[in-house]
Each structure stands twice: as structure tokens, then as C-alpha cells.
Amino acid sequence: MFSALAASLLALAQAQAAAPPAAPNAPITTEETPYQAWMMRCETRAQPQPETTLCGVTSTVTAQVQENEQPVILTKILLRPAKEGAYQLSFELPLAVLLPAGAQLTDAQGEEIIRLPFITCQQTGCEAGAVLTPEQLQQWLTSPEKATVFYSLSNGKRMKLDFSMAGMDQAFAHLERATAEN
């Protein structure tokens, strides 16, 4: 279930604009609200009945790790599938990752928040994901300016990608309100 929900939000994060309805009997509406480096997205599907809404917070970072190499794209997704559910964190990383190592999220001080195992790989990249405890979520959300994702490539090289936390507090508050209504 986690992977399907994260994949749905990942598709939303990568979309340039709201997609037209998939079929005449299954309209999809998308609401997006930007918060600096983060985007709050909700997708509502009329089918199957009853209407369902999935909301999440996303951010994408593109980094040039070395000259003459393709840039690395990191997409982060935080979602909560139900009002009482736990928060789920997902990272989309390049295909060349070392799968057994997973990914590691650290706060601005370099302290590990959580290790995320890789759960699936597709043509666009590999997804690492995990459910956050309330303590892990709080540690991540209170990271003042940035957080970091570490992962290893299949050749053993350790990679580090910093990303901005600017606007995350506002985006998270919006996510809390949106999931409380559903």
C-alpha cells in the first residue's frame, strides 16, 4: 500500500500541470499550493465511490554531483493516507543505487533521523521509503534550514544530497489540515 500511495504522489510531483481526467467516468482533480521549496498537493478521484482524496507534500532537488555526469534528481514525498494514519516518507533516487544500503535521512546537525530501505525500482529510479515515528517526524520538521539524504551507488561511492526545509513548516501544517478533513 505504501508504494502505491507514494507512486501516486510521485506522479503528481513530476507532473507539470494537472492532468486531464483519465476516463469520462473517473475525473481527477488536483489542488497544488506552493510553500517555498515544497509543494502541497491533493488529488481527488471521483471513482471508485466514495470519492477519495490523497494529499502529500513534495519537493524535488536537482544536483550536479560531478562535471560531465547527468544531474541527480531527488524527489521527496511526505504523505499521510488517512486521518489517523502514520506519516510515510519516500525518496526517489537514481537507478544506480546500492539497494542493500538503502538511504539515510539526517538533520542539519548530521544526526540520523531514519534509514529508508529501497522498496521498488522502475525505469525512472528507485524508491526508498519508510513510516516515520512521531519522534522522527518531529526531528525532521525541526531541522532549521536543510536536511540531507545519503545513499551509496552500486560502485560503492557514497553520495550526499542536501535539500531545503524552507516552507516545510507551512506545507506540513496544510497537510495536517487536509488529512484531518478526509
**Domain CATH number, residue 119:** 2.60.40.1880
Confidence of residue 175 (pLDDT cuts 50, 70, 90): very high
**Regarding predicted confidence, which is higher, 122 or 48?**
122
Q: Mean pLDDT, to the nearest integer, of 147-153?
A: 92
Q: In this model, does residue 171 exceed pLDDT 90?
A: yes
The confidence score (pLDDT) of residue 59 equals: 93
- Alpha carbon dihedral 30, 93, 102, 173, in 10-degree steps, equals -30
- Separation between Cα atoms, residue 174 and residue 57, nearest integer Å: 9
Q: Is 146 strand, coil or helix?
A: strand
**By residue range, what is the domain housing residue 34?**
2-181
Q: In this predicted model, what pLDDT tens digit does every residue of 124-137 receive, in sequence order?
A: 899 999 999 999 99
Which of 38-47, 75-84, 107-116, 173-182: highest mean pLDDT?
Answer: 107-116
Count Cα neighbours of 45 within 13 Å in the Cβ-side half-sphere.
10
**Regarding predicted confidence, which is higher, 165 or 47?**
165
Q: What is the pTM of this model?
A: 0.77
Give me the number of domains the chain comprises: 1
Compute the C-alpha angle 127/133/138, nearest 5°.
100
- Separation between Cα atoms, residue 111 and residue 100, nearest integer Å: 21
